[in-house]
């Protein structure tokens, strides 16, 4: 750790504390998640190993980059890219007016492309939320992060472990049924709802009430349609109760409302970093 200077604590991950550090050699800011390996169970150690494995598999401009990891003084340090704009969730909660349609589609297409890379590696994120999507300093580019509970699907079989942030959990996760990457599509629908309304799709005072709402698909209808109706149609498809009816990332990519902003994103990606 002599190569890094600690600046401040910025959060807590699944099993560790997350700090902002400065790399002394080049002055670059990095995020380091530190986990005391003596204080976690064997199962948690496996989860930590999985996180490092997942991070090392993902190399994409729209995903938080993994740099390295090492153990020193019984502490595992995972060194990752720092996104200076904070989380998408904080950005949305800090607004008092709706996003422009162009901005909604631009951010959504970025999340979509990042998620496509995740799914191409047979990885289910399992905790895609606006608080796990980060922004660069100019708020124009997103970075998907926090892969602490992601799961690598070794086969085409579905996973069973119930994990994730409750408000974004799919109905099949709430019911303890097998799930696959269509659970990430549900979460993506929740993220889109939040970008359209500045509110979460599913909220309740207690966890049982929240689970009931999710299992019924009872999100608050959007009364004032200020965006193209096709955006709402796409959101409703992603929030279909039955996972087999939710579109895959590849299907979403060719949705009419996505084609033009996706093309613009490919053209301008190098200019928004």
Q: Give 98-124 pLDDT, tens digit per residue.
A: 999 999 999 999 999 999 999 999 888
pLDDT for the residue numbered 118:
94
What is the enclosing helix (H) or strand (E) of 89?
helix 88-93
List residues forming the annotated binding site for ATP. Answer: 33
CA dist 58 to 70, 76, 78, 213, 223, Å?
Answer: 18, 20, 14, 34, 39
Pairing of strands 17-23, 29-36: antiparallel
Residue-wise pLDDT for 43-64, tens only, equals 777 777 777 888 888 999 999 9
**Helices of type H across 160-240:** 171-174, 182-197, 207-216, 229-238
> Does 148 score more than 70 pLDDT?
no
pLDDT for the residue numbered 155:
44
Average of per-residue pLDDT across 194-222: 93
Q: Dihedral of CA 271/100/185/81: which sign?
A: positive
The phi, psi pair for 11, rounded to 5°, reads 165, -175
All structural domains of the chain, each given as residue ranges with its CATH number in brackets, are 4-81 (3.30.200.20), 88-271 (1.10.510.10)
Residue-wise pLDDT for 29-39, tens only, equals 999 988 888 77
Please enumerate in sequence order all residues whose Cβ is within 8 A of that of 20, keeping only pairs 6 or more positions apart, or say none. Answer: 6, 7, 8, 9, 10, 29, 30, 31, 82
pLDDT for the residue numbered 165:
75
Q: For the chain, what is the total number of helices (H) and then of strands (E)?
A: 9, 9
List residues forming the annotated binding site. Answer: 33
Average of per-residue pLDDT across 242-252: 96
> Does 273 score more than 50 pLDDT?
no
pTM above the 0.85 mark?
A: yes
Question: Catalytic one among 26, 50, 122, 127?
Answer: 127
Task: Indicate if 26 belongs to the active site.
Answer: no
> Does 237 score more than 50 pLDDT?
yes
């Amino acid at each position: 750790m002599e190569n890094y200077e600690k600046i401040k604590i910025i959060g807590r991950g699944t099993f560790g504390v997350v700090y902002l550090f400065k790399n002394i050699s080049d002055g670059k800011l990095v995020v380091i998640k530190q986990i005391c390996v003596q204080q976690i169970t064997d199962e948690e150690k496996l989860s930590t190993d999985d996180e490092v494995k997942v991070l090392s598999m993902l190399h994409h401009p729209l995903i938080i980059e993994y740099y390295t990891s090492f153990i020193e003084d019984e502490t595992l340090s995972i060194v990752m890219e720092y996104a200076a704009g904070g989380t998408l969730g904080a950005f949305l909660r800090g607004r008092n007016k709706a996003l422009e349609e162009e901005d909604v589609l631009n951010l959504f297409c970025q999340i979509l492309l990042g998620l496509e890379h995740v799914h191409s590696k047979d990885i289910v994120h399992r905790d895609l939320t606006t608080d796990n999507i980060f922004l660069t300093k100019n708020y124009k580019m997103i970075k998907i992060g926090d892969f602490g509970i992601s799961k690598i699907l070794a086969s085409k079989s579905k996973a069973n472990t119930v994990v994730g942030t409750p408000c974004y959990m799919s109905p099949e996760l709430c019911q303890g049924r097998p799930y696959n990457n269509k659970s990430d599509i549900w979460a993506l629908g929740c993220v889109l709802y939040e970008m359209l309304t500045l509110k979460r799709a599913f909220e309740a005072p207690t966890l049982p009430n929240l689970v009931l709402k999710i299992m019924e698909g009872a999100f608050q209808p959007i009364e004032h349609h200020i965006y193209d109706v096709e955006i709402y149609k796409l959101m409703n498809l992603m929030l279909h109760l039955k996972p087999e009816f939710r579109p895959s990332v590849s299907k979403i990519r060719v949705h009419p409302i996505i084609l033009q902003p996706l093309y613009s994103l490919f053209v301008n990606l190098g200019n928004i970093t």
